[in-house]
Structure 1
């Protein structure tokens, strides 16, 4: 199993960061960014920059194209439906699909659209990318963690994807229980993305002891309680793992949700607190911290 042709949809922070790395290391014509023609024209006129360097992306109009070996979805959850339509010509019988989206839902949605057998579970972690307008800055690229939903040992396609990404400068690790890993990352997002957005700061806001850091941990512990009901069984050890990851991020960095709030765009609140509240209702588990976060950010968004 060899990966020679790759398409990516979504030029947010992760799309630009990982896409630029692949563009620079793959053979010319083998990596393309898929978008509608109007968006492509804007990208070409304005340029897209990563750490001050103009990216030399090759584009593919979304109304044409042929199947690729690997399709990367790097959009926000509220843009996933449009991305699925844009990538319909890129997905073939043997295409692998990965998603860098937050939350615990995108793999299921992509599986329903293209076939669950094509989807490799993926989590992006450890990056501190900030995108403003058409310019991205970052210090830590972080990594992708991949695997089947649950496996005893890596399958052939997981090993192939792992080898491909690492050989092209995208750090990648394999996880045997990706469903649990996704829940663990979801717990992090529920805490960090929402609280930094609410307090109007950067990662530096939750590096220090204080109300925001305590709210973050409390929001994450509500996810731990729900995970037990869902049979995932996260623990305090998972929370402490992420606290260690957070400590390595630039204090000037911002999660994507905070960047949305600053730009007065609708955020992924429904994907984070909304999912927590939905699961809390399902299992009869109180989630007061996420309720407070949901209500306060909803009020902020009403003012846009």
Structure 2
């Protein structure tokens, strides 16, 4: 399968690397020193499930330099999706499938504002990974998994070869019965990232401290309530299941949003806790914990983006 990976960070680098290792025609879109290292030395992936190295690697610094692919996987930050959609317009074919893997629940919607609806799938991934050094991806925790489907949950035939290709690359891949519910289930869990950023604690530290543990559980329940108010099929008690899963994370693990905030980089706060606040308002309910987290991080976010705090 001909595949373009837009964003070769921890997610795109890992899944794209596995797909390339399995013999697919993969082009990576990357930038800076990471791109230079990929072109010179190839892609190295360190993984709890086994390390591997790919060389040579086909990589470029611009979507415009790619050619139409069967599948485009977007693995960038959420705030970059709209711009990427405009860049993709000239280089996707009629049958190209575009699969966004961003944190949050807005990526497919934003793509559909710009791209033909028939091109856009919905999806999510499960993995904890990061760029360790230029050209080097480190898969730290969680069994790598992709869950995807048609935006409207139609069980189209075109999804089957995609699933087969993904599974042959050596990671789990599922066609969702209800992709919107699956997206929200992950969204509920990742909204913990902002709480970690506020507290300064890792997953283990937040779960170990009774007070921060209690607020984290309340946060999960709050996001689940917003989802249900919007008609998303989230089972009763799902927040308890997510809490138990969180308690099993490696003690020192964190999330990408958390690390971005701590290190003074722009984060996905608008697409995580900020989105919860806005969707709660749309549903006519309150989300005080997410509102507190969102508002607590706004000044840091604006400084990271070099915006005035009064803008």
TM-score between the two structures when normalised by the length of structure 2 = 0.84
Per the alignment, residue 163 of structure 2 pairs with 162
Tell me, which stretches of 5 or more residues in structure 2 are unaligned? 305-311
| More strand as a share of residues | 2
Cα deviations across residues 6-49 of structure 1 (Å, max 9, x unaligned)?
Answer: 0010022101111111121124xx11112469974475468754
Q: Give, in angstroms, the shift of residue 105 of structure 1.
A: 0.7
Task: Return 140-149 or 5-14, whichever deviates more.
Answer: 140-149
Q: Give, in angstroms, the shift of residue 239 of structure 1.
A: 1.8
Q: Give, in angstroms, the shift of residue 79 of structure 1.
A: 1.6
TM-score between the two structures when normalised by the length of structure 1 = 0.86
Aligned partners of 1:90, 1:201: CA distance in 2, in Å?
Answer: 43
Cα deviations across residues 67-96 of structure 1 (Å, max 9, x unaligned)?
Answer: 110000000011223323443444110011
Q: Give, in angstroms, the shift of residue 257 of structure 1.
A: 0.6
**Structure 1 residues 139, 227: CA separation in 2 closer, same or farther (over 3 Å shift)?**
closer
Give matches, 1:1-304, under 5 Å.
4-27=1-24, 30-35=25-30, 40-41=35-36, 43-44=38-39, 49-51=44-46, 55-56=54-55, 57-60=57-60, 61-125=62-126, 127-134=127-134, 135-137=136-138, 138-151=140-153, 154-190=155-191, 192-208=192-208, 210-301=210-301, 304=304
Aligned partners of 1:160, 1:237: CA distance in 2, in Å?
Answer: 35
Cα deviations across residues 145-200 of structure 1 (Å, max 9, x unaligned)?
Answer: 11223447x3212222111100111311221111111122111111x211222222
**Structure 1 residues 74, 139: CA separation in 2 closer, same or farther (over 3 Å shift)?**
same
Aligned partners of 1:185, 1:117: CA distance in 2, in Å?
Answer: 24
Query: Does structure 2 conserve the Cα–Cα contact (< 8 Å) formed by 1:130 and 1:255?
Result: no
**Structure 1 residues 245, 119: CA separation in 2 closer, same or farther (over 3 Å shift)?**
farther
Aligned partners of 2:104, 2:168: CA distance in 1, in Å?
Answer: 27
**Structure 1 residues 294, 108: CA separation in 2 closer, same or farther (over 3 Å shift)?**
same
Query: Does structure 2 conserve the Cα–Cα contact (< 8 Å) formed by 1:224 and 1:233?
Result: no
Q: Give, in angstroms, the shift of residue 255 of structure 1.
A: 1.1
Paired residues, what number?
296
Aligned partners of 1:33, 1:266: CA distance in 2, in Å?
Answer: 23
Task: Return 53-62 or 287-296, whichever deviates more.
Answer: 53-62
Query: Does structure 2 conserve the Cα–Cα contact (< 8 Å) formed by 1:146 and 1:173?
Result: yes
Query: Does structure 2 conserve the Cα–Cα contact (< 8 Å) formed by 1:129 and 1:254?
Result: no
Query: Does structure 2 conserve the Cα–Cα contact (< 8 Å) formed by 1:162 and 1:173?
Result: yes
Aligned partners of 2:78, 2:277: CA distance in 1, in Å?
Answer: 18
